[in-house]
Chains A and B, each alone.
Chain A
């Protein structure tokens, strides 16, 4: 049981490049979310999903796309990276069964130059 996994751990992009941050969970959780963490700002919700095929925007969705074709995977796409997207990205999953505890992945540190 690996929990929530994220790849890559580190990434450097040039402005305008695109990339996908991968997130997978093996706990059969319905809900998955993406957050970004910036110094002094805590974590902010980018996008979330309540099930396969259903996604919605969070607090800071601009510049990011998501899709949820399976329960396990929830990739985050940056279509045209900007320096303002330099951040640490966390993926999380949770379930209505039992506790409403969000399980977080280890994070991806992204630098856009």
Chain B
């Protein structure tokens, strides 16, 4: 069975600080996808990134970066120079990479990030 663990329930930072959200996963599959979603206070789910298991290259998108380490089964998310608009709940998720099953996501319990002025 697949499992995603986000051990940090809530994080508070002051604006402009860097913050890293941790994600550890478990799967028996050799190929799989990892995702990060953002859920702002308005409630919608916003897709941030998808990474497949055979691509361990780290990715940067503006102030966001992701560190995928297969050896430790981790897919951590870093926000550089955090802003108040980053305040949200962030979910890490996992799916198999087989056809059709990529539509079945296993989510972590989420990390609530609060960025204060």
Contacts and interface: CB of A to CB of B under 8 A. Distances in A.
A and B associate: yes
Contacts of A106: 43-44
Nearest to A45: B104
Given A50-B103, A94-B103, A104 B45 contact: yes
B41 interface: no
Interface string B41-84: 00111010010000000000000000000000000000000000
12 contacts: A31-B102, A33-B104, A40-B9, A42-B107, A43-B105, A43-B107, A45-B105, A100-B97, A101-B35, A102-B35, A104-B44, A106-B43
Contacts of A40: 9, 109
Interface of B: 4, 9, 33, 35, 37, 43-45, 47, 50, 91, 93, 95, 97, 99-100, 102-110
Interface of A: 30-33, 35, 40-45, 48, 50, 58-59, 88, 90, 92, 94, 96, 99-104, 106-107
B100 A50 contact: yes
Contacts of A35: 105, 107
Nearest to B6: A42
- The 5 tightest CB contacts between A and B, nearest first, are A31-B103, A42-B107, A50-B100, A104-B45, A100-B102
Contacts of A41: 109
B103 A32 contact: yes
A107 B47 contact: no
A99 B50 contact: yes
A96 B96 CA distance: 13
Given A40-B109, A43-B91, A100-B33, A48 B104 contact: yes
Contacts of B43: 88, 106-107
B41 to A, nearest CB: 13
Nearest to B42: A106
